[in-house]
Structure 1
Amino acid sequence: MLVPQSSGTEYSDKVIMNATRYSYDMKAPVGPPMWRDDCLGQRQSPINLDDVDSISTVFPPLEWYGHWDNREEGFMMRNTWHSAEVEYMGEMPFIKGGPLTAEYILAQVHFHWGTSGNSGSEHSLDTHFFGMEAHLVHYKAEYGSVSAAAGRLDGLVVVGIFFRSSRGNNPELNGIVSKLEEIIEGNNSTRINGDAMEWLEGYSDMQNYYTYLGSLTTPPCSEIVTWIVMKEPAIIGERQIEEFKRLKGQNGTISSNVRPIQDLNGRQVFYSWRDSSASAKFQPSSGLILCYLIFTMLLNFK
């Protein structure tokens, strides 16, 4: 089942991005050191992820519905002044399973990159950064929109996907990268082909990921996000990353749009693993069940 777009992307830019209130420049008057409100909270994102300090567990399979479908109507992509954002039209994809106790509807996909090929991800893996990171922003279906979900601890689920930079381009990303020249200026938008998100299909069977409770990585940094960060990266060409860096924000080109790593502050990170020989049926031990119950209790605490 897919959900009509009319109930999906009716969100306010004030919830996730406000171009006039913040910058990624560490020296700017509105740069990350000056972010206030929830940005000073105890459950902030992004964080460093590692196997040593994570609880290894097996969640039920993570289920994707419609994220990589070839769409006749295509997609809209726009320059938000801070990133390139892809919006779905028509029926909206959703995700469920894994650590989630409900369905979450996709609102948009956006990208983060850095000044160099090894500093473009927001999260890090064993202190290692990647060339870029995609964020798939979902809201809980029962809340009806991102703005309605903004005040709930379990309001949003963001799936993070790393991109490892390579010398050669990834042709699966051409549908997005080739259209970036049409949204160089802030607030510009363009339509992209219906097969532009098929690269996501590679994650349909992926069950190796980190999950934790965190926040938006942009002001107001609301602590309402269940993060699911895939361990295996996608591939992107170095020249393709350069095309993203041509986009313009409030103060010239967007050379970097990553928030610095935040303290864990005692939070627990879960690492979900599932190898190819594992049964498709979820049969965890009592210890794994306990981990799952603790996680869902935290998730549903409002």
Structure 2
Amino acid sequence: MWLFRFGFCFFYSPRFLLPWLLLVSFARSLYLPYLSQTVQSRPKMKSGTFLATALAAATSLTEAAVIWDGRFNDFTSAADLNKWSWSNQVGPYQYYIHGSGTVDKYISLSPDYKNPADTVSKQGAKFTLDSTAFWNGQNMRRIELIPQTKASIASGKVYYHFSIMRKDTNAPSVNREHQICFFESHFTELKYGWISGEQGTSNPNLQWMTGGKSQWKTEWKAGVWHNIAYEIDFGANKVGFWHSEGAAPLKQTVAPVSASTSSNGADWHLGVLELPRSGYSDTNEDFYFSGVFIETGTITIAIGGP
């Protein structure tokens, strides 16, 4: 106790405190002018600037992130698709839904097959339905690729992107139903041509469907690139539709609608299934795709993706 009292009296005695007070006062006199000058020279942040900065920071947390890339940039030719098998699941695509011919009969790659406005993709793909394009003994002509990935492409909110075009040469038939870029449950897909059960004999429209119901349509003219994104919220069971033509940025054409968003992450088909129709013979048909990828976060509206 006596030691404590001695220390307390010593440190708080005027003889001890006075030199320290003088030293602190001297240091303060040197530092305060510098501090004042620094604060005055520092630009003031207006409330609007602060708000914009905060919003930018918040936005950066949800920036677009590609979780699966199917843009064919790493392919030397369509023959690379043959590297995939059930026992050797490599590359971005599963390739097993096709006819009896070699891969080059159904898919070919070229820079000429992509949307010219897409500067991210090195090349696009031409998918062909011919007289051999029957898969697994079915009477439907099919050529489809399925994403090969362990990414969570079937949960949360995701955007499935692709661009599609046709030409007058080997034009898809307006007299047959074509199911394009679909899920196996068909909760969202494109369709082209005469749809089974409808009136008339032909239909020139490209349509976006949810659960078999048309939500959007436009005449599919030759040489026009249609840029598409399915906005799928697997948690909320809703699907929206983004669209543009040519080089125009994507816009939300149809706000999200209710849908049975069911997927196991391995049942989205990039390509075409054509239903047979009595009285209409098979002809060669070509479909062009580019800018294929899936992303989360904020949608990328620029053609080709981030």
TM-score, normalised relative to structure 2 = 0.27
Between the two structures, name the one with larger relative contact order (CA 8 Å, sep ≥ 6).
1
Higher radius of gyration, 1 or 2: 2
TM-score by length of 1: 0.27
